[in-house]
Amino acid sequence: MAELDVDALIERFRLRADAVKERGLPPVAGEERRRFIEQAETDFTDFALIGAAAWSVDGTDLVLRIPLSR
């Protein structure tokens, strides 16, 4: 199994959150536009949460500590 670089993983999530934040809207309208915006909001939240995590190893478990106040 390849080694896991947790710092690099977290950085990739930070970069993904930034990319979602900067992503423009495609030329869609109506219901499709609403779904696109909702998905972008969900993606940003997911990526930003992981991107803000601190990590540790507890036995054989990787533990991500995600601050909920920001």
Q: What is the residue range of 10's domain?
A: 6-65
The pLDDT mean for the chain works out to 92
> Considering its fold, how many domains does the chain have in total?
1
Cβ neighbors of 21 (< 8 A, separation 6 or more) are: 44
Residue 51: inside a domain, yes or no? yes
Does residue 11 sit within a domain?
A: yes
* Within a domain: 35: yes
- Structural domain contains residue 70: no
Q: Does residue 1 lie in a domain region?
A: no
In-domain check, residue 39: yes
pLDDT of residue 70: 61
- At 48 the pLDDT is 95
Helix (H) / strand (E) element for 31: namely: helix 30-51
Residue 42 included in any domain: yes
Tell me the mean pLDDT per 10 residues along the chain, length 70.
87 96 89 93 95 95 89
